[in-house]
Structure 1
């Protein structure tokens, strides 16, 4: 695999709040739609008028979430929502003195992708307020999942300019 190093002088991170919100809505609309269809198709009615799934059937929504977030990001370099709005997550590496960073145009590791999406519920809490606050107040416009996964999110158009 050819690896392209992109430095901060050539690659500028921006908050892209609107695009990131839209990407999250697309991704989680697909996930929640699957969940509700699956719940009504395979769930059993309970005493409170709802449905529940138990046993091994309960793993399917979790596996689907992993497939739609981590899996798609591993195979295609970005989730469906990020691809539609022109965003791409990238791995970052800090210099020895922590004064600069470089992004690499390689696919994220499984661990990085998993960390990014494991914190989605926190970043999306209260209509995304936590994610928006952290994106606006971090040097590289990262949400909590990006900080933990050591990633940044950039516009794909910026990648083409930096090459």
Structure 2
């Protein structure tokens, strides 16, 4: 599946891998399995308590709003999406609002229910951003959240012996910016076209330099790695 470029609040464009049609279908099947298990438990209790119809109605109400409720309260994920490590994201990278989730949920009727999923699948396959009709109208898409976790993917790094602080402005770095710096480093190292790599790195460096008030000609890759080490040094000594 293709990637989608998302602009962060620091005006740095980061590419995320779109969830494939297979992953989205698999997530939906897992959700159906989850609902089936819950249904069987409800029917078991209904049989024991002798109020089958009442319990069935109580089950049908949350069932109707299943995907909407889970995506709102689980940061864009249903149980199936969480297992498959995919989630709903807005096309511009900001956190989806309730209205975003509501619009894409409402159009499940067209994308999935009335067309047996054919409309949704065709839109996802044909479109460039992996969007079904509901996603297009809600300005959302579904991306992968899987990442390899190691010391290189955390905000903690080893500090070289006798390392001295390079940028005093690093004290102004917000901890929330560290994962962004990691993503920028990863993308610079991933890009194969030297021109594209340089342009991306310079744009990212310029935005962060302006944000922190830093002036330097340091190469972008080394610049972001230095910021992370500086941050760790400052907070280690506190």
Fold shared, TM-score > 0.5 on shorter chain: yes
Q: Which category describes the TM-score, using the shorter chain as reference length?
A: 0.5 to 0.7
Unaligned stretches of 5+ residues in structure 1: 44-51, 93-101
Q: Partner residue of 1:10?
A: 14
TM-score of the pair, normalised by structure 2: 0.47
2:70 alignment partner in structure 1: 72
**Secondary structure at the counterpart of residue 61 of structure 2:** helix
Say whether residues 1:103 and 2:93 are aligned partners.
Answer: yes
For residues 63-91 of structure 1, what are the alpha-carbon distances to aligned partners after superposition, in whole Å with 9 as ceiling and x for unaligned? 2442x322222222111111111111112
Where is the strand percentage greater, Structure 1 or Structure 2?
Answer: 1
Partner of 2:106: 118
Aligned pairs, how many? 139
TM-score by length of 1: 0.65
RCO greater where, 1 or 2, for CA within 8 Å and sep 6 or more?
1
Higher gyration radius (CA): 2
**Distance (whole Å) between structure 2 residues aligned to residue 157 and residue 74 of structure 1:** 20
Closer, same or farther: CA 57–22 of 1 in aligned 2, 3 Å: closer
Whether the aligned pair in 2 keeps the contact of 1:15 and 1:136 (CA below 8 Å) is no
| Residues in 1 aligned to 2:120 and 2:11: alpha-carbon distance in whole angstroms | 25
Whole-angstrom distance in 2 between the partners of 1:116 and 1:31: 20
Structure with the larger helix share: 2
Structure 2 gap ranges (5+): 1-7, 148-179, 186-238
Q: Which residue of 2 aligns with 1:154?
A: 143
